[in-house]
A = this chain, B = another copy of it.
Amino acid sequence: MNDFNYQLLDEIIHSRIRLAVMALLISVEEAEFNYLKEKVKATDGNLSVHLKKLEEAEYISVKKEFIDRKPKTMYTLTKTGKTAFNQYLISLENLIKK
């Protein structure tokens, strides 16, 4: 049976940009800022704000690296983030299943 209680959906994940970021990060080992930006189609500022929120929730971790002497910011899903995302998918499925 469906559960329509909207509060079961993790509000940290359930914003369009953050959901897109989480879905992308669960499918790759790590992703660089510009790659995320290109895939998610968000602006720099907007993406940064949402990444910050995911980082504060400890759903993602951030690492600065130099590749070919250029600074790169790499993002990875944490274990907490993976658990939260899988739980989110279960709640979502319970909400929208027919």
Contacts and interface: CB of A to CB of B under 8 A. Distances in A.
Interface of A: 2, 4-7, 9, 11, 14, 16-17, 19-20, 23-24, 26-27, 39-42, 89, 92, 95-96, 98
A41 B95 contact: no
* This chain: copies in complex: 2
Contacts of A14: 14, 16
A59 to B, nearest CB: 15
Given A23-B96, A27-B98, A6 B17 contact: yes
B27 A6 contact: no
Most B Cβ at <10 Å: residue of A2, A5, A20: A20
* A-B pairs, 6 with minimum CB distance: A6-B20, A6-B16, A4-B39, A5-B41, A4-B20, A4-B24
